[in-house]
Amino acid sequence: MSYSSEELVRTVQAKRTQEHMSQRALAVRSGLTQAHISQIETGRLEPGLSSFIQMVRALDLEIVLVPKKLLPAVEGILRSNANDFSLEERLSDLFAKAERLVARQKKRHGSSAPLDRIAEYFRFLKQVHLSKKDLALISDVVDTLRSYHSEPIPKPVLENSAGVLQDLRNRIAHKVEPPRPAYALDDEDDDA
């Protein structure tokens, strides 16, 4: 197997294992035999283009030809999307922790108005696009609440946390646009 195709096969194999997919499952999805996939992955068989495309598409990937001079731009876009994906994963984990924390507090110590507001804000915030700065803010709130392991969270801490989340929600829900002038003179306006 040539070095260039070996690298492509390793990438596809890594994606298969990342998806927790067996060679047999990939065979079923791609229409190839498990033995064929095994021979490709072990380097005993050079993959044909059609076989390779079947494997790749079965893993929800696509092969794309890019002009060489545009490759750095495409790689930059892919890196930024990978970072966005990891941000989405972190947000998902963070909101799962937050929801478990609120549920545990309610179960152990009963519901309260600030705790209900916090739960409501978490439900809203997990449905909107958040920046890294927003993620840090939410993470700080969750860390503060988590610091009260088994004891009830004091009401001032709950109210402060609810206020921080409410401010974030309001900033996102009610984006303020910069004021526009009542009128403007165009450079091409000869009547002025």
pLDDT of residue 116: 93
pLDDT in tens, 121-177: 999 888 888 888 888 899 999 999 888 877 889 999 999 999 999 999 998 888 766
What CATH class is the domain 3-58?
A: mainly alpha
Kindly give the interhelix angle for 3-18 and 49-58, rounded to the nearest 10 degrees.
20
pLDDT in tens, 44-63: 999 889 999 999 999 988 88
Domain parsing of the chain, residue ranges: 3-58, 69-173
Whether the CB-CB separation of 109 and 152 falls below 8 Å is answered with: yes
CA angle (109 as vertex; 106, 115 as ends), nearest 5: 45
Tokens standing for 60? 């929800």
pLDDT at 30 over 60: yes
pLDDT at 190 over 60: no
pLDDT in tens, 87-123: 667 778 888 888 888 888 888 888 899 999 999 999 9
Q: Which of 175, 176, 108, 102 is nearest to 138 (CA)?
A: 102
Tell me the one-letter amino acid at 96. Answer: A
Q: Provide CB contacts within 8 A for 155, sequence distance 6+.
A: 112, 114
Tokens standing for 130? 């958040």
